[in-house]
Structure 1
Amino acid sequence: MKTKWTEPTVSHLFDAYDDRVENLLGYRPLIADLIRTAPAEATVLDYGCGGGKVSRRLLHAGVSKVEGVDISPIMVAKAQSHSDSS
C-alpha cells in the first residue's frame, strides 16, 4: 500500500519523530547558543517552526518574543495551540 503524502499525514509523522529530528539536526546546542547570545529584548524568527517546539523552548528560556512561520498551516495551528496552552 502506498502512503499518501498529504499535509495531515506528514504532520502526524513529524509529531511522531519530532525529538529524533531535533537530536539529529543538533538543535539543542544551537538553541543553547542562541539563548546565551541573544539580547533579552530580541525577537527570534523560528523559520520552519513545525509544531512550535523550538519556539516554546526559547520562550521558556527567557527570549522575550518568538515569531514562528511554517509552510504548513496545520503545523502553524499546532504551534499556536501549544502557545495558547503554555
Structure 2
Amino acid sequence: MTVAGARVESLGEAASARFRRAHVGLVFQFFNLLDDLTVLDNVLLPARLAGTLGRAAGEHATRLVDTLGITRHANAYPGRLSGGERQRVAVARAA
C-alpha cells in the first residue's frame, strides 16, 4: 500500500516512526497532554521531536493555537483548562 508516496508495508520500525511523525496526527480520547508543559510547549513538542527548531516551529505552533481559539491559554498548564480546551490543544498538537 502506498501512502503519501511511501510503500508503508515495507517500512522498518524506525522508518515507520519517521513516517508517522511526518504524516500522521493522533488525537487521543484522554488528550495525553504533558501536565508540566504549557499549552504552547505541548503544541511545540511534535515539531521539536521532528527536529524543527527556532522561529519556524514557534510561529507554526502560535498559528495553530490562534486558529483553535486557545491563544489566551498559551502559557497555561493543561490542568487549568476545561475538557474542550484540552481537546483543542490535542488537536493543535496533532496538526
- TM tier relative to shorter chain: under 0.3
Structure holding more strand per residue:
1
Q: TM-score under structure 1 normalisation?
A: 0.25
**Greater relative contact order (Cα < 8 A, sep 6+):** 2
Q: TM-score under structure 2 normalisation?
A: 0.24
